Amino acid sequence: MNKNYTEIIKQNAVKPRYLRNSIVAFVTGGLVGIVGQGLSDLYRYVFNLDKNNANSLMTVTLIIITAITTGLGIYDSYGQFAGAGAFIPVTGFANSMTSAALESRSEGVTLGIAANMFKLAGSVIVFGVVSAFVLGTIRYLFFH
């Protein structure tokens, strides 16, 4: 019985399409980068902001756009299509925080939204801080 079940699972399992998924993630993630660069250039050359302020405002703009599209249910469809191209840029971090906040809003602001907002994004923060510490230490020890 167990063998038959395993064979049926193997026959009916969806085969991952690694090449297609990689290309789609590369293109969609690149498009996020192009939009970000366009926003940064807009803020620098139209609104005469310096590079640091333009980049900060570009990041905030992408986060706001992602939060709004997540709330409207649009980002979920984009994420399903884009895969890693949707969740690796800062937009993916914003989506994870916004979706967690939306799911827990019925529990109230403090115990719902504030307590649950970092459940999905918390691991990203932890690994980001740890990897920054490790790489910073390596750079300090060997390239200082």
pLDDT tens for each residue of 29-63 = 999 999 999 999 999 999 999 999 999 999 999 99
* 111 three-state secondary structure: helix
Closest CA to 91 of 51, 42, 58: 58
Write 92-98 long-range contacts (CB < 8 A, 24+): 93/121, 93/124, 94/62, 94/63, 94/66, 94/67, 94/70, 95/66, 95/67, 95/70, 96/120, 96/121, 96/124, 97/121, 98/66, 98/67, 98/70, 98/71
Greater model confidence, 126 or 34 = 34
- The residue whose two tokens read 């939009």 is 35
- pLDDT digit string, tens, across residues 61-111: 999 999 999 999 999 999 999 998 988 888 988 998 898 888 888 888 888
Rounded CA gap, 73 and 55, in Å? 27
Q: What's the rounded mean pLDDT across residues 109-131?
A: 82
**What are the structural domain ranges in the chain?**
2-103
Tokens at residue 28, please?
């969609």
